[in-house]
Amino acid sequence: MPKAKKTLEPQQERSRESERKLLKAAAEVLGQHGVDGATIPRIARHAGLTPGAVYRRFRDKDELLETAILGILERQDERTKVGLAPKAAAQIPLPVFTEQIVGSMVISYRANAALLRAMRQFVQGRAHSEFWKKASVLEIRTFRRIIELFLSHRGEIKHPQPKMAVSFAFMMVISTLFDLVVLPQDPSLYKGLWPQDDRALKEELVRAFLNYLGVSSKRE
């Protein structure tokens, strides 16, 4: 028995490493080439594996992309969970905390715009499937974690319904970033109507967020 265990563990580790490579490659190819361009041969080549190695682990392209996307959402939720506790968030002045959160979102959405666009297309194309339900649960769980961080400043919020106000304001930030960064229109059509760069975009989003909560956007 011990001898069999020695030969099995390296095989299992190699298999796990191959799967990690595949999922990483699937996310990268999805971001680079979109849903239609994320083919099994292209993903396998990107991972340094053969198409056969993909089909030994995943039924088809959809199952591979579903697994990769759920992995991205799970890691995002875990980072939010361990990154900052409400008690720690409460020690940061609300205007500063808002700047930090919104600023990091602007940077992240800009850097990952193509991947976010492809992920949204893929998830929405499978509405009401089991995969869609799992993805939705992960997204709302992350959303709720962030809302709780802002609600650590509940006493500073002047809106009569703090939880609803924070949720609505945060959804406004997400929607704006999707419209202006992830799914952008031709900027020349809206010249002078939108913030002209990401710095200005962050500032306007922070101002709108805080003003809706009834909080001064000026740092104390």
> What is the reported pLDDT for 220?
47
Same domain membership, residue 88 and residue 151: yes
| pLDDT digits 0-9 by tens, 118-175 | 999 999 999 999 999 999 999 999 999 999 999 999 999 999 999 999 999 999 999 9
pLDDT exceeds cutoff 90 at 66: yes
Supply the CATH number for residue 53's domain.
1.10.10.60
Same domain membership, residue 7 and residue 111: no
The whole domain housing 138 covers: 83-213
Query: Is 68 domain-assigned?
Result: no
Query: Is 78 domain-assigned?
Result: no
Same domain membership, residue 38 and residue 98: no
Same domain membership, residue 127 and residue 33: no
Same domain membership, residue 120 and residue 179: yes
Neighbours of 15 (CB within 10 A): 13
pLDDT exceeds cutoff 80 at 3: no
Same domain membership, residue 124 and residue 205: yes
Is residue 27 a contact partner of residue 73, using CB atoms and an 8 Å limit?
A: no
Buried b (16+ CB within 10 A) or exposed e, 134-171: bbeebeeebbebbbebbbbbeebbeeeebeebbbebbe
More confident residue, 100 or 196: 100
Handedness of CA 86, 90, 94, 98 (dihedral sign): negative
Same domain membership, residue 96 and residue 176: yes
Which pLDDT band, with edges at 50, 70 and 90, does 97 fall under? very high
Query: Is 32 domain-assigned?
Result: yes
Which pLDDT band, with edges at 50, 70 and 90, does 218 fall under? low
> What is the reported pLDDT for 153?
97
Query: What average pLDDT does the segment 54-68 reach?
Result: 96
Query: Is 63 domain-assigned?
Result: no
Same domain membership, residue 92 and residue 160: yes
pLDDT exceeds cutoff 70 at 2: no
Which pLDDT band, with edges at 50, 70 and 90, does 188 fall under? confident
Same domain membership, residue 199 and residue 151: yes
Same domain membership, residue 126 and residue 200: yes
Same domain membership, residue 97 and residue 53: no
pLDDT exceeds cutoff 80 at 45: yes
Per mean pLDDT, which range of 13-17, 32-36, 48-52 is the poorest?
Answer: 13-17
Query: Is 152 domain-assigned?
Result: yes
Q: How many helices (H) and strands (E) would you count in the chain? A: 10, 0
| pLDDT digits 0-9 by tens, 164-186 | 999 999 999 999 999 999 998 88
> What is the reported pLDDT for 8?
46
Same domain membership, residue 137 and residue 40: no
Q: In whole angstroms, what is the distance from residue 131 CA to residue 1 CA? A: 39
> What is the reported pLDDT for 187?
76
Q: Is the pTM of this model over 0.95?
A: no
pLDDT exceeds cutoff 70 at 200: yes
Number of domains the chain is built from: 2
Mean pLDDT estimate for the chain: 93
Query: Is 155 domain-assigned?
Result: yes
Query: What average pLDDT does the segment 22-41 reach?
Result: 97
